[in-house]
Amino acid sequence: MRIKIGPKTLFFEATLILQEFSDDEDETLTTWEYLLYNRKSEIYDDSKFFSDSHKALPYFIDKIKDMVDN
């Protein structure tokens, strides 16, 4: 699952990616990755991994709150 915010009028595009995979013991692991892409310089300005949804979602919301046109 991907959640992507990046209005065309901004240089930045934020993406939150949910990744699920199985380890060697057949246990499903869930991680989140946050990426902030700078369209102008074509590089990632920020990248962060989370193993907890309760931390990943608030971080993503905090980072994108100024991107959303109220």
So where are the chain's domains? 2-64
- Number of other residues whose CB lies within 10 A of the CB of residue 28: 8
- Give the per-residue pLDDT at 10: 87
Q: What is the largest CA-CA distance in the chain?
A: 46
Three-state secondary structure call for residue 56: helix
- What is residue 68's predicted lDDT score, i.e. its pLDDT? 74
Whole-model pTM: value is 0.78
CA distance 19 to 54: 15
Please determine, for residue 69, whether its predicted confidence score (pLDDT) is greater than 70. Answer: no
List, for residues 23-66, the tens digit of each pLDDT value. Answer: 777 788 889 999 999 999 999 999 999 988 899 999 999 988 88
Higher pLDDT, 60 or 1: 60
70 to 7, 16, 18: CA distances (angstroms): 12, 21, 26
Q: Which of residues 62 and 21 earns the better pLDDT score?
A: 62
**What DSSP state is assigned to residue 10?**
S
